[in-house]
């Protein structure tokens, strides 16, 4: 592997939501949706982020895009710290970073035609003539596998998979560098999921895209990811190259998530690890390691001391007291 260039760097990022209570609606606590997360994304790669519902994945994506303001920490895009930029100063970065949402129906305006939906970001950006915009709409529709006639139709006239293709076309209009897919195939039928995943893979090559791909299930990110990060209660439990995460998961939580993924080759039989209990509330996370209340291997230290994310070699990092030494 040659020298890799960072596109995005997330440093100690936190996003806390205030919890209000009492008659005076005072802040009585915080939901620590994203709690001290650091990682980087290299140009051209796909970083998959997985974790149960409520682990902070969407909040992470939205905070990176500055749809939410970070509570603390930095988001660095192509070397520029964008974490505290004003709306006006954010504008040139907005076109470089786009989001594809889980529910294309909710994210596409039902009263706008597909042509208008795809054209809208270009009108806002105001760099192309009307004719150029129309040409681009037809071109993008073709790229995502839809006929030119789709232009004059409305979102409800399409299937779920087709709607997600429209959402992807819209995300591509301003030639972004980074696409954050927030469970973009989770709402689709399994047969359609792979078609949309394949499309995203093809578009990545064609347009030199970098992906942050969010899913709640490891099987979805398996084929598309170069690296995978596993989130638990707002923190990164483990992150590393995809092959390491799938063949040699270190964190007991990653092992549990992986044990739920069906494996095609019958030689390696895995025990399904069932986690006890529910995901604790991020407004009242457990002390020490946030996973200790459900961890089959928890010991005394885990109840009191938060494990750091440490390098275990081969670019695999894990936050777990079972692995203490930091390898160089």
| Strand residues in 3-91 grouped as ranges (E) | 6-21, 26-42, 46-50, 72-77, 80-81
- Give the strand pairing for 26-42 and 6-21: antiparallel
Q: Which residues contact 295 (CB under 8 A, 6 or more apart)?
A: 252, 253, 289, 302
58 contributes a contact to Mg ion by CB under 5 A: yes
25 contributes a contact to ligand ADP by CB under 6 A: no
- Whose Cβ is closer to ligand ADP: residue 33's or residue 295's? 33
Of the candidates 106, 184, 112, the residue with the CA atom closest to the CA atom of residue 144: 184
How many residues sit close enough to Mg ion to count as binding (CB under 5 A)? 1
Number of neighbouring beta carbons within 10 Å of residue 143 = 17
33 contributes a contact to ligand ADP by CB under 6 A: yes
Half-sphere exposure for 77 (CA within 13 Å, toward CB) = 21
Q: CA–CA separation, 204 vs 274, rounded Å?
A: 36
13 contributes a contact to ligand ADP by CB under 6 A: no
Among positions 7, 50, 56, 293, the unique one binding ligand ADP when judged by CB under 6 A? 56
Q: Which does 181 bind (CB under 5 to 8 A by kind): Mg ion, ligand ADP, none?
A: none
Task: Let me know: does 83 contact 142? Beta carbons within 8 Å.
Answer: no
Stretch that binds ligand ADP, among 40-48, 50-58, 292-300, 302-310 (CB under 6 A): 50-58
- Whose Cβ is closer to Mg ion: residue 252's or residue 285's? 285
Q: Which does 64 bind (CB under 5 to 8 A by kind): Mg ion, ligand ADP, none?
A: none
Measured from the CB of residue 146, what is the shortest distance to ligand ADP in angstroms?
28
31 contributes a contact to ligand ADP by CB under 6 A: yes
Q: CA–CA separation, 309 vs 235, rounded Å?
A: 10
Task: Let me know: does 48 contact 228? Beta carbons within 8 Å.
Answer: yes
3-state percent helix, strand, coil for the chain, nearest multiple of 5: 35, 25, 45
- Whose Cβ is closer to Mg ion: residue 41's or residue 49's? 49
Draw the binding track, 273-312, toward ligand ADP (x: CB under 6 A; -: no contact): ---------x------------------------------
Measured from the CB of residue 55, what is the shortest distance to ligand ADP in angstroms?
4
Among positions 10, 57, 215, 237, the unique one binding ligand ADP when judged by CB under 6 A? 57
Residues that bind ligand ADP (CB under 6 A): 17, 31, 33, 51, 53-59, 282
Residues that bind Mg ion (CB under 5 A): 58
């Amino acid at each position: 592997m040659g020298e890799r260039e960072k596109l995005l760097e997330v440093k100690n990022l936190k996003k806390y939501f205030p919890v209000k209570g009492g008659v005076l609606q005072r802040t009585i606590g915080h939901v620590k949706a994203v709690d001290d997360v650091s990682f980087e994304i290299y140009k051209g790669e796909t970083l998959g982020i997985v974790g149960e519902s409520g682990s902070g994945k969407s909040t992470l994506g939205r905070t990176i895009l500055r749809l939410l303001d970070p509570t603390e920490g930095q988001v660095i895009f192509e070397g520029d710290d964008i974490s505290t930029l004003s709306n006006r100063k954010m504008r040139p970065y907005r076109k470089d970073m786009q989001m594809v949402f889980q529910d294309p129906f909710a994210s596409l305006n039902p009263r706008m035609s597909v042509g208008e939906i795809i054209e809208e970001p270009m009108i806002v950006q105001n760099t192309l003539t009307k004719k150029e915009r129309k040409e681009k709409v037809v071109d993008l529709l073709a790229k995502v596998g839809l006929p030119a006639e789709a232009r004059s139709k409305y979102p409800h006239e399409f299937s779920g998979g087709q709607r997600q293709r429209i959402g992807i076309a819209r995300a591509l209009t301003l030639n972004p560098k980074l696409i954050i897919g927030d469970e973009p195939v989770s709402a689709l039928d399994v047969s359609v999921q792979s078609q949309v995943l394949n499309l995203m893979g093809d578009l990545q090559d064609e347009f030199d895209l970098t992906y942050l791909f969010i899913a709640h299930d490891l099987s979805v990110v398996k084929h598309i990811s170069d690296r995978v990060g596993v989130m638990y209660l707002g923190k990164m439990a483990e992150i590393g190259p995809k092959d390491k995460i799938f063949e040699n998961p270190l964190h007991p939580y990653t092992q549990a998530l992986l044990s739920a993924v069906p494996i095609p080759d019958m030689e390696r039989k895995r025990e399904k690890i069932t986690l006890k209990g529910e995901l604790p509330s991020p407004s009242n996370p457990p002390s020490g390691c946030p996973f200790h209340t459900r961890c089959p291997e928890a010991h005394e230290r885990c109840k009191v001391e938060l494990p750091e994310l440490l390098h275990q070699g081969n670019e695999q990092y894990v936050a777990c007291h079972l692995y203490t030494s930091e390898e160089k």
